[in-house]
């Protein structure tokens, strides 16, 4: 009976290890997230976003929302804008942002045209552009990982989506 219990336990352990992929060889992993981290400032005395718009503060009660985003290759956001600015930091991959700087904020139709594009790479930090319609993409072959910290008005949305088609 003891021998049968040991065999059953052994089979159970092998099946568990195989099914959870715990025995995966990670020695050949290509993602080295630690390589993007070095001691130093991410941004110093930055007072404008990449489009040249000055840093502004919310008019109501301020609040901070911090997020971590992980986007698979091929991910594309819908058209949207942010009423507030954020501090963003690309941890891994590349973030491509496509802007329609001509569309009025009141125009919530999804029919927009890209007239400016910016790409941010791993290790870069920037102030996110507010009050400009845009959509964002992961055009790379690896997961895009980035953080955002929004200084906004308490209980206000940090994104406004265009209407669906």
Please answer whether residues 152 and 83 qualify as being in contact, where contact means their C-beta atoms are separated by less than 8 angstroms: yes
**Position 81 pLDDT exceeds 50:** yes
- pLDDT value of residue 2: 46
**Position 24 pLDDT exceeds 70:** no
Q: Which two tokens stand for residue 164?
A: 């669906």
**Position 7 pLDDT exceeds 50:** no
> Which residues neighbour 138 within 8 Å (Cβ) at sequence distance 6 or greater?
71, 72, 73, 74, 75, 76, 93, 94, 95, 96, 144
| Sequence ranges of the domains in the chain | 38-161
Q: What is the mean pLDDT of the segment spanning 74-92?
A: 97
**Position 10 pLDDT exceeds 70:** no
Q: What is the mean pLDDT of the segment spanning 113-136?
A: 97
Q: Please give the Cα distance from 138 to 73 (Å, whole number).
A: 5
Alpha helices in the chain (DSSP H): 2-20
- pLDDT value of residue 145: 97
Percentage of the chain lying above the pLDDT 70 cut:
77
**Position 97 pLDDT exceeds 70:** yes
**Position 18 pLDDT exceeds 50:** no
Would you identify the CATH topology of the domain 38-161?
Answer: Jelly Rolls (2.60.120)
- pLDDT value of residue 36: 54
Percentage of the chain lying above the pLDDT 90 cut:
66
The whole-angstrom distance between residue 100's C-alpha and the CA centroid of its chain comes to: 20
**Position 61 pLDDT exceeds 90:** yes
Compute the mean pLDDT over every residue in the chain, rounded to the nearest whole number.
83
**6 vs 162, more confident:** 162
**Position 31 pLDDT exceeds 80:** no
């Amino acid at each position: 009976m003891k021998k049968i219990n040991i065999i059953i336990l052994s089979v159970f352990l092998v099946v568990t290890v195989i099914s959870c992929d715990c025995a995966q060889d990670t020695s050949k992993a290509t993602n080295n997230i630690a390589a993007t981290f070095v001691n130093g400032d991410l941004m110093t005395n930055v007072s404008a976003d990449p489009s040249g718009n000055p840093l502004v503060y919310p008019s109501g009660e301020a609040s901070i929302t911090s997020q971590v985003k992980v986007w698979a290759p091929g991910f594309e956001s819908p058209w949207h804008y942010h009423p507030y600015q954020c501090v963003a930091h690309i941890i891994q991959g590349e973030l491509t942002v496509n802007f329609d700087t001509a569309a009025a904020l009141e125009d919530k139709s999804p029919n927009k045209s890209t007239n400016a594009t910016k790409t941010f790479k791993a290790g870069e930090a920037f102030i996110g552009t507010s009050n400009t319609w845009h959509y964002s993409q992961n055009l790379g072959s690896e997961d895009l990982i980035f953080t955002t910290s929004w200084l906004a008005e308490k209980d206000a949305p940090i994104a406004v989506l265009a209407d669906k088609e």
